[in-house]
A = this chain, B = another copy of it.
Amino acid sequence: MPDIKHFDPDTALDTVVRLFWRQGVAATGIQDVVTATGLNRSSLYATFGGKQDLYLAALRRYVETHSAPAFQSLAEDGRGLPAVAAFFAGLIEVRCSGPYARWGCMVVNAHAGAENGDAEVRRVLDAHHHRLREALLAALRTARTRGQLSPKTDLDAAAELLAVLAYGVNLRSRAGADPADLRRTVSAALASLGAEPA
């Protein structure tokens, strides 16, 4: 029977994710991938296909390993508005400090590049947006049952608002925005949703 792979594709893909996430697709050459992963071109192409396929695989893996867990925590957190606040607090922390500081969100970055012309990439973007919206909506529904929201708040519109706000936070963080500013911004948004009449 055949020989077997001498490496772990998922581990290699994680390395590729970090490359594309930080530098973008266009600025990352196959040579960079080869150097970073330690694989050679043959194994790369045999396992993942060409560059575009590799990017798509990396983007999907990013969503599953980075976005999805945060969305799930948000949706399953039973606290309502505090859950949303915690979600954004964690987001800002990851974006502004630690190993991924100033990398932004790979999905958000994909919106701006030429890679969004690809139909499959576009689908990943839309799916990501939908999942984020749903997680926020779940938290807002909890908030409503707990009486944390102004009665006039439209839940769907508020969820979309917070989702779009998250995109903006991700984007600005990549340009070096002050995390304190971002926190203040999110606080203002949450306060306006929960604002009870004086």
The answer to the question of A26 belonging to the interface, with a C-beta cut-off of 8 Å to chain B, is: yes
List chain B residues, Cβ under 8 A from A195.
Answer: 150, 152, 192, 195
The answer to whether A167 and B172 touch across the interface, beta carbons within 8 angstroms, is: yes
List chain B residues, Cβ under 8 A from A126.
Answer: 175-176
The answer to whether B114 and A26 touch across the interface, beta carbons within 8 angstroms, is: yes
The answer to the question of A6 belonging to the interface, with a C-beta cut-off of 8 Å to chain B, is: no
List chain B residues, Cβ under 8 A from A104.
Answer: 111-112
The answer to whether A171 and B111 touch across the interface, beta carbons within 8 angstroms, is: yes
The answer to whether A161 and B188 touch across the interface, beta carbons within 8 angstroms, is: yes
Q: CB < 8 Å: which of B111, B114, B157, B175 contacts A184?
A: B157
The answer to the question of A66 belonging to the interface, with a C-beta cut-off of 8 Å to chain B, is: no
Q: How far is the CB of A96 from chain B (nearest CB, A)?
A: 14
Who on chain B is nearest to A182 by CB? B164
Interface size grouping (class) on chain A = 35 or more
Interface of chain A, helix or strand or loop or mixed? helix
List chain B residues, Cβ under 8 A from A153.
Answer: 188, 192
Cα separation A165 to B27 with both chains bound (whole Å): 28
**19 A–B contacts from the bound complex (CB under 8 Å):** A24-B113, A24-B114, A104-B112, A109-B112, A112-B113, A112-B174, A116-B175, A126-B176, A153-B188, A154-B184, A161-B185, A164-B172, A165-B165, A167-B167, A167-B171, A168-B171, A192-B193, A195-B195, A197-B197
